[in-house]
């Protein structure tokens, strides 16, 4: 009797799990763990609430379906011509509603209270997060592919990114040393990328070692003395323009004690396109290519 | 007191300003809309305009009006209660208690929403009322209830709650943006559910306070005199304190802490129509609602990004307050 009851309950649990499994094919969960009903038709009016999402949407060939972007969305250039919904922390709910979207893609940096307010207006909001490393990017692209009904294109895009990643890995196989790298986010002080940032991951994949990897943060203020102690062999300056890079290089080299650091002495201070590196999107692989070629020029056929 | 005609002018002006405020609120916002759009919408509604006009703009205007009315009424009650013109809705610790609740909720990621309140709003409401009850209980112990004791206990409990709030903010700096929203107030998240939740309570408190206004007038003569004149002083005091705390806690729960309205509006009204509490309560509610309606209009339209409304209430309220004081002297 008891045994029978047990097997019945096992059956019920199984049935529940299986039933859930088939429902899960229709429901996608966003990065808040909230279920998102898979749209019956591919969305035709998409609002993007972050630059990297805009970039991925365009990379998936959905540019003509994007009807609103943030004021920071400037890549690809045609994205900058779309209606603006405000910024990352100050998106405007009224403007978003007025665009009459059938899909709003938000990210975790948008204030949750505003994301919820948009949802309460009856708009479907899908919330995504940026990953800690490059390996999360294909999954992010796949999720966007699923909510926009472009799974095949998303798969192809992810595959091409993984191919290029594999090519870098192959080129770097058996490198003798992993140069120490200091990343400078030029702007206000010695901001660098800590161990939780995907930039840290990119440096590792490019065959380098981030000197600030031990900092348990995404972005962190670094100390001048620590740079001198770390003695990085290369410095990457994330700059918005060549002029910015030049200004950043002079600013850094002009700091007392920094001129003696290996990277500055040997002139291995390089510009990294901040616009590409600050967006968790497909262009990260361009950044990776450049970082790898700068750190290991011998493996990429030539001088940097 | 300027007598009846002055009062009538005051009421007419207030009502007119209030209606105009609602109309302007409906028409202004980041999405350009003309009066023609509004008329066209009324003739043939469509979902996008319905969301913008009704769900976003009108609900927000109604909520701002209700909160303004609640805060001003609460302030008018407490100024009478303490016979002190410096009293405001937050003097008994409601604001500090409520902000502590909101910040705790954000730090813990408490999101359960109920009755149109968000998680932090709900906890703000509960802890705001909680701290008032605590203050009241502590003041009761010492042989009956002394008004000064409530005031001082309220200040002390408020300071303690503020210290805890600052500590939490220091420990969880990532919830800072959310905290600013509570500490300086905003109607950015206004929705009909919130308005529907607080409207009956605001209306009830308004009716009850107008009904009990004569007793409040008597309290001005001192508790003993009021008692001798037949006013049930203890019960009246309890009712007024409860109402003022409820109004303040409801306001904080939907819009965060909005300063200055509860302090300043009753003063304006008193200067304009005199100190009798019956008209004072009703007029404070109307004037407070209207004032906050215009403040919110400024908060959401001055800059591309929204300003916290507390900035506006103080910036607009203080100079006007000074002007009235100066003129009166």
Q: Which of B189, B299, B302 should one mutate to test binding to chain A, selecting the residue with the greatest count of A CBs within 10 A? A: B189
A15: pLDDT strictly greater than 80: no
B109: pLDDT strictly greater than 80: no
pLDDT in tens, B247-263: 988 898 888 889 889 98
Query: What average pLDDT does range A200-224 have in this prediction?
Result: 92
Inter-residue contact B287 to B72 (CB < 8 Å): yes
**Domain check: are A150 and A182 in the same one?**
no
Q: How far apart are CA B124 and CA B105, in angstroms?
A: 8
Min Cα separation B213/chain A (Å): 40
**Domain check: are A32 and A144 in the same one?**
yes
pLDDT in tens, A112-168: 888 988 998 989 999 998 888 888 999 999 999 999 999 999 999 999 999 999 999
Residue A11 maps to a domain: no
Q: How far apart are CA B69 and CA B71, in angstroms?
A: 6
Partner B contacted by A122 (CB < 8 A): yes
Number of structural domains, chain B? 1
Would you state the pLDDT for residue B268? 87
Cβ pair B189:A113 closer than 8 A:
yes
**Domain check: are A197 and A109 in the same one?**
no
Q: Which of B37, B55, B182, B308 should one mutate to test binding to chain A, selecting the residue with the greatest count of A CBs within 10 A? A: B55
A6: pLDDT strictly greater than 60: no
Number of structural domains, chain A? 2
**Domain check: are A147 and A218 in the same one?**
no
CB-nearest partner of B30 from A92, A116, A120: A92
Query: What average pLDDT does range A228-253 have in this prediction?
Result: 94
pLDDT in tens, B27-72: 998 888 889 888 988 898 888 888 999 999 999 999 999 999 999 9
Kindly indicate the confidence band of residue A22, based on its pLDDT and cuts at 50, 70 and 90: very low
Closest residue on chain A to B28 (Cα): A94
| Block residue for tokens 């215009």 | B294
Would you state the pLDDT for residue A2? 46
Residue A16 maps to a domain: no
Would you state the pLDDT for residue B206? 97
Query: What average pLDDT does range B77-92 have in this prediction?
Result: 84
Partner A contacted by B51 (CB < 8 A): yes
Partner B contacted by A253 (CB < 8 A): no
Which chain B residues are within 8 Å of A97, Cβ to Cβ? 48, 51-52, 55-56
| Block residue for tokens 């940096």 | A109
Residue B38 maps to a domain: no
Kindly indicate the confidence band of residue A198, based on its pLDDT and cuts at 50, 70 and 90: very high
Residue A30 maps to a domain: yes
B19: pLDDT strictly greater than 60: yes
Could you tell me what percent of chain A has a pLDDT over 70?
A: 90
**DSSP readout, A222-279?**
PPHHHHHHH--SEEEEEESSHHHHHHHHHHHHTSTTGGGSHHHHTT-EEEEEHHHHTS
A13: pLDDT strictly greater than 70: no
Domain extent, residue A181, equals 175-300
CB-nearest partner of A94 from B29, B118, B304: B29
Global ipTM: 0.78
Q: How far apart are CA A59 and CA A76, in angstroms?
A: 9
pLDDT in tens, A261-275: 999 999 999 999 999
Query: What average pLDDT does range B225-242 have in this prediction?
Result: 88
Q: Which of A33, A68, A97 should one mutate to test binding to chain B, selecting the residue with the greatest count of B CBs within 10 A? A: A97
**Domain check: are A153 and A195 in the same one?**
no
Partner A contacted by B46 (CB < 8 A): no
Partner B contacted by A116 (CB < 8 A): yes
Query: What average pLDDT does range B217-244 have in this prediction?
Result: 88
Name the residue with higher pLDDT: A82 or A108. A82
Sheet containing strand A180-185, strands side by side: A209-210, A180-185, A234-239, A269-273
Assign residue B204 the CATH number of its domain. 1.10.3470.10
Kindly indicate the confidence band of residue B124, based on its pLDDT and cuts at 50, 70 and 90: confident
Min Cα separation B173/chain A (Å): 13
Residue A29 CA, chain-centre distance (Å), reads 19
Q: A205: which residues sit within 8 A by CB, 6+ positions away?
A: A134, A165, A168, A169, A288, A292
**Domain check: are A151 and A187 in the same one?**
no
**Domain check: are A146 and A242 in the same one?**
no
Closest residue on chain A to B120 (Cα): A113
DSSP letter at B157 equals: H
Query: What average pLDDT does range A295-301 have in this prediction?
Result: 90
pLDDT in tens, B152-182: 888 888 888 888 888 887 776 666 667 777 7
Would you state the pLDDT for residue A21? 41
Burial A219-252 (b: 16+ CB within 10 A, else e): ebebeeeebeebebbbbbbbbeeeebbeebbeeb
Peptide bond into A76 cis (omega under 30): yes
Inter-residue contact B14 to B287 (CB < 8 Å): yes
Would you state the pLDDT for residue B259? 86
Which chain A residues are within 8 Å of B57, Cβ to Cβ? 94
Q: How far apart are CA B66 and CA B10, in angstroms?
A: 20
Query: What average pLDDT does range B125-142 have in this prediction?
Result: 81
**Domain check: are A26 and A144 in the same one?**
yes
Assign residue A78 the CATH number of its domain. 3.40.50.1980
Give the angle subtended at the CA of A121 by the CAs of A120 and A122, to the nearest 5°.
85
A46: pLDDT strictly greater than 70: yes
Would you state the pLDDT for residue A20? 44
Residue B113 maps to a domain: yes
Cβ pair A94:B178 closer than 8 A:
no
pLDDT in tens, B283-323: 999 999 999 999 999 999 888 778 889 889 988 878 877 87
């Amino acid at each position: 009797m008891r045994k029978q009851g047990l097997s019945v309950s096992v059956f019920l649990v199984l049935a529940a799990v299986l039933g859930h499994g088939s429902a899960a094919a229709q429901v996608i969960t966003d990065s808040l763990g909230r279920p998102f009903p898979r749209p019956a038709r591919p969305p035709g009016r998409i609002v993007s609430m972050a630059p990297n999402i805009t970039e991925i949407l365009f990379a998936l060939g959905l540019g003509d379906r994007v009807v609103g972007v943030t004021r920071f969305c400037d890549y690809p250039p045609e994205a900058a011509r779309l209606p603006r919904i405000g910024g990352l922390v100050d998106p405007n709910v009224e403007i978003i509603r007025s665009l009459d979207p059938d899909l709003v893609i938000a990210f975790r940096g948008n204030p949750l209270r505003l994301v919820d307010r948009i949802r309460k207006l009856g708009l479907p909001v899908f919330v995504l997060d940026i990953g800690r490393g490059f390996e999360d990017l294909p999954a992010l692209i796949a999720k966007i592919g699923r909510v926009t009904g472009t799974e095949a294109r998303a798969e192809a895009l992810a595959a091409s990114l993984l191919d290029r990643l594999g090519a870098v890995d192959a080129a770097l196989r058996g490198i003798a040393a992993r140069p120490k790298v200091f990343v400078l986010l030029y702007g206000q002080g010695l901001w660098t990328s800590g161990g939780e940032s995907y930039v840290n991951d990119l440096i590792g994949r490019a065959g380098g070692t981030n000197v600030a990897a031990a900092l348990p943060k995404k972005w962190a203020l670094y100390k001048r003395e620590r740079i001198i102690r770390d003695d990085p062999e290369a410095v990457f300056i994330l700059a918005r323009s060549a002029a910015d890079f030049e200004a950043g290089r002079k600013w850094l080299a002009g700091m007392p004690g920094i001129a003696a650091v290996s990277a500055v002495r040997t002139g291995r201070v390089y510009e990294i396109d901040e616009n590409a590196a600050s967006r968790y999107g497909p262009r990260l692989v361009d950044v990776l290519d450049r970082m790898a070629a700068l750190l290991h020029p011998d493996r990429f056929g030539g001088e940097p | 007191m300027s007598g009846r005609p002055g009062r009538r002018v005051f009421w007419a002006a207030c009502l007119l300003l209030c209606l105009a405020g609602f109309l302007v609120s409906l028409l202004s916002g980041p999405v350009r809309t003309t009066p023609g759009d509004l008329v066209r919408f009324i003739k043939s509604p469509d979902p996008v305009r319905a969301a913008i006009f009704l769900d976003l703009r009108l609900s927000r205007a109604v909520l701002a009006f209700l909160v303004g009315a609640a805060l001003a009424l609460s302030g008018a009650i407490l100024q009478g209660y303490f016979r002190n013109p410096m009293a405001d809705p937050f003097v008994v610790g409601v604001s500090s208690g409520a902000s502590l609740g909101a910040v705790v909720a954000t730090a813990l990621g408490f999101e359960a929403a109920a009755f149109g309140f968000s998680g932090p709003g709900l906890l703000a409401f509960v802890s705001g009322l909680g701290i008032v009850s605590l203050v009241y209980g502590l003041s009761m112990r010492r042989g009956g209830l002394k008004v000064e004791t409530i005031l001082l206990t309220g200040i002390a409990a408020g300071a303690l709650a503020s210290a805890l709030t600052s500590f939490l903010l220091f420990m969880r700096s990532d919830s800072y943006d959310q905290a600013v929203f509570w500490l300086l107030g905003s109607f950015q998240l206004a929705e009909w559910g919130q308005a529907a939740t607080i409207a009956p309570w605001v209306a009830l408190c308004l009716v009850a306070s107008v009904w009990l206004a004569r007793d409040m007038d008597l309290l001005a003569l001192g508790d003993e005199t009021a008692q001798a004149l037949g006013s049930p002083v203890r019960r009246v005091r309890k009712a007024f304190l409860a109402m003022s705390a409820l109004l303040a806690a409801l306001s904080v729960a939907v819009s965060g802490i909005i300063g200055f309205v509860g302090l300043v509006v009753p003063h304006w009204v008193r200067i304009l129509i005199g100190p009798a509490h019956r008209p004072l309560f009703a007029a404070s509610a109307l004037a407070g609602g209207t004032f906050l309606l215009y403040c919110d209009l400024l908060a959401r339209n001055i800059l591309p990004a929204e300003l916290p409304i507390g900035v506006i209430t103080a910036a607009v309220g203080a100079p006007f307050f000074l002007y009235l004081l100066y003129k009166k002297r």
